[in-house]
Amino acid sequence: QVQLVESGGGLVQPGGSLRLSCAASGSIRFYAMGWYRQATGKQREVVAALTNAGSTMYADSVKGRFTISRDNAKNTVYLQMNSLEAEDTAVYYCKADRSGVGYWGQGTQVTVSS
């Protein structure tokens, strides 16, 4: 079992950048890691994912703007978000998956507004 804690959210103006961090309580070396988001009144959706082998995927809405990365030595996953738009406003969650079992963090709020 792994516990996840997200940080780095906040209020940013359109066009700005934020970097989210997801710190795990233990090794994430063998976990697939992902970032999800849930806007008010909408379903949770995947934003970006990164396998333990290094393969990545991104939602079409964030391609070219967001980058997911991991530092296994620090047991941390990052989401670099650039060129933020109002539509990116949501609670962002980190998830770790291994052998069909998923673990979620508590989420961090990102608000994009002028």
- pLDDT of 23-50, one tens digit each? 999 999 999 999 999 999 999 999 999 9
Inter-residue contact 20 to 63 (CB < 8 Å): no
The answer to whether residue 3 scores a pLDDT higher than 90 is: yes
Q: Are strands 10-12 and 108-112 parallel, antiparallel or unpaired?
A: parallel
Candidate from 49-53, 78-82, 84-88 with smallest mean pLDDT: 49-53
Mean pLDDT of 75-91: 98
Tokens of 52: 């333990």
At residue 23, the pLDDT reads 98
Percent of the chain with pLDDT over 90: 95
Whole-angstrom Cα distance, residue 4 to residue 40? Answer: 22
Helix (H) and strand (E) counts in the chain:
0, 11
